[in-house]
Amino acid sequence: MVPYVAVAITAVILSLVPLWIGDSRTLTGVAVSGLLFACYATAFNLIFGSTDQLFLAVGALAGVGAYTSAITSDRLSLPLPLTIILGMIVAMIISGLFSWIAVRRSLGIIFTGIVTLTFSLAFDNLLLGQRSLTGGETGMVIDAGKGAFFRGQIPPYYVFLTLLIGFLLAYVAIHRSRMGWAFRALRDDQLSAELSGVNVAKYRIYAGAIGGAMLGLSGALWAHVEGFISPATFTFVHVDVQVLVMLVFGGIGTLLGPVVGSAFFTYLGEVLASFSQLRLIVEGVLLIVLFLALPQGVVGAIVIGITRLRERRKGLP
């Protein structure tokens, strides 16, 4: 029950944020971006935190979802929900394919990272090259009428809050299922997991596909909420580096690590917005200190602390 309660408390706290930031359009935009990154980080946490697959294509997979949805709704005039589902499915297939390749070729963490990073860079070039379809560097505006459902009736903040809570609930459900047991086993020791009867390849592909679907869905929704996408929105530096930093800060493999990490760095980014150079230095120093002091991340350290306290109360060694 504890994880579900944690998600419920997170939902309540985050739903009160609009009251705190008031009518400011800038701050609302920052908050929405923070939620989007929390969604990205949760998906990445499922892939990397649960199954040790370093996918350096978080932005690219979100971009696949966004561009698939934008192009099919804009050029083919397909219904909006269908285009979003299409974006999600295409990202899911590509991401699942990454896992399949990594499993078939027995790629370790680093080589999986290299393969997916190559895709990231290639995807960026594809977007720039296919100008007639994607608008190239200038990006593409998505027809306002088709996105009106998100932009007109539901505030973007709540669209992404609902998505994030949905992702967190899915994360909990997965980790409480048979799949979750398999994830814990293969993350700790792949050979031992196989010897225990866990089909490591299958569960890696599941994690890749589900995480990819989450990224594709986030990207597709972002495209329609914003009404505009460009290659810069999904670059490795803009998305993947940020997501990695957020996850490391919050705690890899923890439920709320992605939320805490993205909330902290979104807030820090806003506080240091007027000192662009200083911001990078502060973030860098903070990360080094955190790596040394809290290698499990903030949430990871809290969880370990609570566990030790419980053990002490029970009188366990």
Residue ranges in contact with another protein by CB under 8 A: 178, 181-182, 184-185, 187-189, 191-201, 311, 314, 316-317
Nearer to another protein, 82 or 304 (CB): 304
Nearer to another protein, 205 or 223 (CB): 205
Please report how close the Cβ of residue 307 comes to another protein at its closest, in angstroms.
8
Please report how close the Cβ of residue 179 comes to another protein at its closest, in angstroms.
11
Nearer to another protein, 17 or 200 (CB): 200
Nearer to another protein, 123 or 183 (CB): 183
Please report how close the Cβ of residue 310 comes to another protein at its closest, in angstroms.
10
Please report how close the Cβ of residue 317 comes to another protein at its closest, in angstroms.
6
Nearer to another protein, 193 or 220 (CB): 193
Nearer to another protein, 137 or 188 (CB): 188
E strand or H helix at 218? helix 200-226
Q: What are the helix and strand counts (H, E) for the chain?
A: 16, 2
Please report how close the Cβ of residue 101 comes to another protein at its closest, in angstroms.
18
First to last CA, the chain: 26
Nearer to another protein, 137 or 311 (CB): 311
> Nearest to residue 18, comparing CAs of 34, 6, 2, 3?
34
Please report how close the Cβ of residue 259 comes to another protein at its closest, in angstroms.
21
Please report how close the Cβ of residue 184 comes to another protein at its closest, in angstroms.
6
For 289, the token pair is: 């200190």
Please report how close the Cβ of residue 177 comes to another protein at its closest, in angstroms.
9
Nearer to another protein, 26 or 192 (CB): 192
